[in-house]
């Protein structure tokens, strides 16, 4: 009888461990989705963050030549931008491709899967933009504080 009780206790402990792991994964996914929402909102407003935990700053201005190109191709522009606006958006395809991947074990990553119609992968476009001084996939100190508040006010409730 004691052996059966020990086995049942072990099974229940394993179930509790699995449930806690799943809840932690769900919380991490929700937190990562909120981080992505903050990044998209800031970037579309024309701001980036050079270093994680750094300050928000305006994205580097577009060159006059590229502004002229965007004006000539206005019909291709995303509704979230204008020819003169530097917000890493032309068609909007790359920003819309951003997805949370691997949200577990206290870590999450945001990636830009897929390819642009013109050929290069979205990841290459992100790297190109960073090389041009348009870094946007980092979180600022203010955004990290917002995520902490989001966690404390919305996700801690899931724990209970």
Torsions phi, psi for 121 (to 5 deg): -70, 155
Q: Tell me the two tokens of residue 88.
A: 């890493």
pLDDT of residue 143: 92
pLDDT at 95 over 70: yes
pLDDT in tens, 4-22: 566 666 766 666 665 566 6
Q: Which residue, 89, 96, 90, is CA-closest to 44? A: 89
CA 134-109-118 angle, 5° bins: 50
pLDDT in tens, 26-81: 788 888 899 999 999 999 999 999 998 999 999 999 999 999 999 999 999 999 89
CB 95 within 8 A of CB 89: yes
């Amino acid at each position: 009888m004691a052996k059966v009780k020990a086995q049942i206790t072990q099974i229940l402990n394993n179930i509790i461990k699995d449930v806690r792991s799943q809840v932690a994964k769900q919380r991490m996914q929700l937190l990562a989705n909120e981080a992505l929402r903050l990044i998209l909102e800031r970037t579309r407003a024309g701001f980036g963050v050079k270093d994680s935990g750094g300050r928000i700053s305006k994205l580097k201005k577009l060159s006059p030549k590229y502004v002229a190109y965007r004006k000539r191709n206005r019909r291709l522009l995303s509704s979230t931008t204008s020819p003169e606006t530097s917000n890493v958006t032309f068609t909007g395809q790359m920003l819309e491709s951003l997805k949370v991947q691997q949200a577990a074990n206290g870590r999450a990553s945001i990636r830009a899967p897929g390819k642009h119609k013109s050929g290069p992968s979205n990841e290459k476009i992100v790297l190109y933009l960073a090389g041009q001084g348009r870094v946007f996939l980092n979180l600022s100190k203010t955004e990290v504080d917002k995520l902490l508040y989001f966690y404390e006010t919305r996700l801690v409730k899931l724990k209970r």
